[in-house]
A and B are shown apart, each in its own frame.
Chain A
Amino acid sequence: MKRAVQVTLGILTAIGGFVDIGDLVANSETGARFGLNLAWVVVVGVIGIIVFAEMAGRVATVSRRPVFDLVRERLGPAFGLANLIASFFINFLTLTAEIAGVAIALSLVASVDYLLLIPFAAFLVWLVIWRLPFQRMEQLFGLLGLALIVVLVTVVKIGPDWNDLFRQAAHPHVPSQETPFTYAYFAIALFGAAMTPYEVFFFSSGAVEEKWTLSDLTLNRANVFVGFPLGAVLSLSLMVGAALVLQPRNISVDQLSQVGLPTVFALGKVGLATVLVGIFAATFGAALETGLSAGYTVAQYLGWPWGKHLRPDQAPRFHLVVLLSIAVATLFGLSGVDPVKVTEYSIVLSAAALPLTYFPILVIANDTDYMGDKTNGRWVNAIGFIYLVVLVVIAVATIPLMIITKGGA
């Protein structure tokens, strides 16, 4: 019984934890701009994150070695360091975007300029990392994030022609006003939003934090195979809502506040209140995950003690990195950068950087020294290898596309 509760809780957390500011922005933006022509990318992305997270979770559980530990061990110190710098920088962009997202969500309730709320939001994020135990933190924000189910209710309430929606999603094409380049660029953005590397840093470090054992591998699978697809349903609902409400009105999404418009349209005040809670929880949860990931990556590369299962004075360098990252992200957010632009760049670069962390995990998941008899099965390896190819193609294409489309303009 206790086990069932734990599994359910894990799944719920995974649903809430799947969506962050990247998904909120990317799905609303592409829905308003491309209709359902990019819906397939969400499906490809969620299968990718399932494969990646399941492997990373299994490796961390069996060997007790999280992602960046293995990155250095398999890629060597020099290439590992380049990898660390790239991953840390992208994670930092995401952290900035999430903190700004928390501030914006608060500003939509408090009617204060979000810039004034950024230091407060950042302090809150740090305080939770400093004081709240790992599991309670994860459950609290995962469950609050379930408020985003309201976007699914939004779509149901609008009552679209479901057959027509499926037909559109199943027959994607480049809309007449777009070029193949912008189409590809936004496909990468959506993919990066669904398959963000920090999710895996966090997930694999979390497996060590929560002291998972072999018997928890079921929990790992349940979280990943049930939680993430349900999270993807929320992403698709955001896209459909934008396609139904915003696209016919020629509204393009360039503010986080516009993400709530379809829900306001369909469900009124109750919907609005719920979606704002959901946006707050999703960005806050992701700010915690990226804040911790800043510390995880550096500490694991250098072999320092890390984690929330330790007292802060038992992992001081880890906490110092977390603290400094949050502080610098706060300053960057306050400098007047456009949070939506920062989000877009963070998800696109996330997609480009994926092979750097995916590849070592795929290799270690096949190493009997680490994994014993828990190495990848034939099917996991087949899919895992296909995704490796996909990720490499994306990584190569991203920067040229970014330049050609001027950042998707």
Chain B
Amino acid sequence: MRLSELLHCHVIDAGGASLGSVVDVLAVWDGPPSDGSDATLRIAGLVVGRRGIGVRLGFHRARMTGPWPLASLLDRLERRSSYVEWEKVTSRDADTIRVSARRSDLRPPPPLPR
């Protein structure tokens, strides 16, 4: 499958409520890059929420230093999305993903250390 297909999926929580759609995917590189064929980039979790420009710009997940009003606004917009670990995915078909978590238990996506 392709990443873009995953990015269009609708996400439903344990109680049957909609969490929005997959807006981004967190992946972990097991093993160093450029070190032969055994390096893998494994999907670790989904960023779920409403699609929008704020998420795309990555003000929360990336290291953005400003400009102040814009950064805080977009950061807040992005914090409204939530992060679901891949282990919590219970079923998955062409356009819907069900997860075992509830909205209230979820946290915003983690910013990455750089």
Using a CB–CB cutoff of 8 Å, the interface residues on chain A facing chain B are 74-76, 79, 362-363, 366-369, 375-376, 378, 381-382, 384-385, 388
The stretch of B27-35, B68-76, B83-91, B100-108 in contact with A is: B68-76
Chain B positions within 8 Å of A385 at CB level: 67-70
Q: Which of A75, A368, A376 contacts B56 (CB 8 A)?
A: A75
- B66 on the A face (CB < 8 A): yes
Q: Is the CB of B63 within 8 A of A369?
A: yes
Known A-B contacts A367-B62, A369-B62, A369-B114; A381 and B67 likewise in contact (beta carbons under 8 Å) = yes
Complex Cα distance A75/B70, Å? Answer: 16
Question: Which of A76, A79, A381 has the most CB atoms of chain B within a 10 A radius of its CB?
Answer: A381
Using a CB–CB cutoff of 8 Å, the interface residues on chain B facing chain A are 53, 56-58, 62-71, 114
Beyond the given A368-B65, A376-B65, could you list 19 further A-B residue pairs with CB under 8 A, ordered by the A residue number?
A: A74-B56, A74-B57, A75-B56, A79-B53, A363-B57, A366-B64, A366-B67, A367-B64, A368-B63, A368-B114, A369-B63, A369-B114, A375-B65, A381-B66, A381-B67, A385-B67, A385-B68, A385-B70, A388-B70
Question: Which of B53, B58, B66, B68 has the most CB atoms of chain A within a 10 A radius of its CB?
Answer: B66
Q: How many A-B pairs fall under 8 Å by CB?
A: 47
Complex Cα distance A385/B65, Å? Answer: 13
Chain A positions within 8 Å of B70 at CB level: 362-363, 385, 388
Known A-B contacts A385-B70, A388-B70; A366 and B56 likewise in contact (beta carbons under 8 Å) = no
Question: In the complex, how many angstroms separate the beta carbon of B65 from the nearest chain A beta carbon?
Answer: 5
Question: In the complex, how many angstroms separate the beta carbon of A139 from the nearest chain B beta carbon?
Answer: 35
Complex Cα distance A368/B67, Å? Answer: 13
Q: Which of A74, A75, A369, A382 contacts B67 (CB 8 A)?
A: A382
What are the nearest 8 A-B pairs in CB distance? A381-B67, A368-B63, A385-B67, A381-B66, A366-B65, A375-B65, A366-B66, A366-B64
| 21 A–B contacts from the bound complex (CB under 8 Å) | A74-B56, A74-B57, A75-B56, A363-B57, A363-B64, A366-B65, A367-B62, A367-B65, A368-B63, A368-B64, A368-B65, A368-B114, A369-B62, A375-B65, A376-B65, A376-B66, A376-B67, A381-B68, A382-B67, A385-B67, A385-B68
